[in-house]
Every structure is written in C-alpha cells, then in structure tokens.
Amino acid sequence: MRKTYLALAITWIALAGCDAGKKHADNEMAPADTATIENALKSIEAQWEKDYQAFDVDKVSGHYAEDAALANPGSTLATDSIGRRLEIEKFVADKNSKVSFAADRVGVAASGEIAYTRGHYSDETTDPKTGKAVTQVGNYLTVWKKQADGSWRAVEDFVVPGPPSSAPSP
C-alpha cells in the first residue's frame, strides 16, 4: 500500500512539474520596451526635481516604494517611510535651497520590472552656522522597481557628494 501512495505521489509531482513547465512556456514574456521605460524614468525624475523645488514633502516622498532606502550625505540610512520623510523634511526646510539633478545613464532590465538611473546633482542650501549659501555637487544612483499598479518607485536612492561625472557614459 505504501508503494502505491509513493508511486501516486511521484506521478503527481512529475505531472505538476510538466504542467508548470507548460505554463511557463505559454506565459513567456516578450522583452520590455526599454526605450519607453527609459523615457518614463527621465520624465519621473524631472517631476521629482520639480517636487523638490516646490518644497512638497508629500510628492517627494511619493516617489519612493514603501520599503525603499534613502542615503543622503552625512545622514543615517533611512529605510522606512518615517526616516525617509524626516530626511526629506530636513532638506526642504531650507526655503532657500535649490536642487537640480538629471540622469546621465539609465538601465532597464529585459523583464521591464527593475531599472536604475545614475546621474549628477547640484544643491544649494543655507549653512546654519554662517547663514551663507553652500553648493554641493555629486552623483546619485537610484534603483527603480515597477509596482503592481504599473507605476515606478525608487527602492534604493544613494546620493554621493564629489565631482560629478565629466561626461555621460554610453
């Protein structure tokens, strides 16, 4: 009797495996339109920059996925919505601040479900000690993930001060 159950179990597993393979082959995804996704991400970043310039904490925060990480220079890594919001509030609290950034390179996975933007930034803030404007330049790397609703949200956002890249990489 045990051998019968074992044989049935093996047969069921084998058939389930065959069925899973068939489903995988039937659901083979066509390659993503990476050029369209690249343009969408550049457009999202342009809006993100405008949201910073408008000092809109809610809109800036809305560009991040729920489990995203934000690494700003000199700050602790923010890995939850409260930490990210505090970092964003700290930055936009200076109503004299000016920020600009743009991607020098965009990469999109063939699946169209994950992508990255790498670029340069410049921000001008007020030094709290002197009251004078301070400009910082550098580079950033943002990893994007397509959400269930089809939108794109940042899941990793790392900002690194220093000389920006001299020319976009191909």
Joined together, the tokens standing for residue 169 give 């990489």
Please tell me the pTM assigned to this model: 0.78
Domain boundaries, the chain: 1-30, 32-161
pLDDT 10s digits, 51-64: 999 999 999 999 99
Residue 64: phi and psi, rounded to 5, are: -105, 145
Joined together, the tokens standing for residue 133 give 């404007």
pLDDT 10s digits, 75-101: 999 999 999 999 999 989 998 899 999
Joined together, the tokens standing for residue 113 give 């479900």
Per the CB < 8 A criterion, the answer to whether 159 and 95 are in contact is no
Domain covering 32-161, topology: Nuclear Transport Factor 2; Chain: A, (3.10.450)
